Amino acid sequence: MSYDNAIIDKDIKALMESAAIGEAARSFMESGLGKHIINTAAEDVDSALFDLIETDPSNQSEISRLQTEIKVARLSVAYLMNSITAGENSIRMMEDE
């Protein structure tokens, strides 16, 4: 039986794509560039938190800017982690089928 023209169920195809994206995200995070970005994001969060502690409470624009800086740095890593988790979940679901 030839599988060259096999039709893949759309749900299985979506799971396969999610698994591939998750693996790509994992590989990226383990790469030199990925590690650099993660470290830079952590340093940015630490720096912004320090600055936030030192900021005058009445300076709402600076507080807002620093909060945004922290959120962006944290989300940059969270998106990659979420992709990895979704990929792992997709692999489990395919194994269960």
What are the structural domain ranges in the chain?
A: 10-96
User: 9: pLDDT confidence band, cut at 50, 70 and 90?
Assistant: confident
pTM of the model: 0.75
Tokens 């195809």 correspond to 13
| Contacts with 44 (C-beta within 8 Å, 6 or more apart), sequence order | 69, 70, 73
pLDDT at 97 over 70: yes
User: 86: pLDDT confidence band, cut at 50, 70 and 90?
Assistant: very high
Q: Which pLDDT score is estimated for 6?
A: 62
Read off the pLDDT of residues 18-56 as tens digits, 9 standing for 90 and up.
Answer: 999 999 999 999 999 999 999 999 999 999 999 999 999
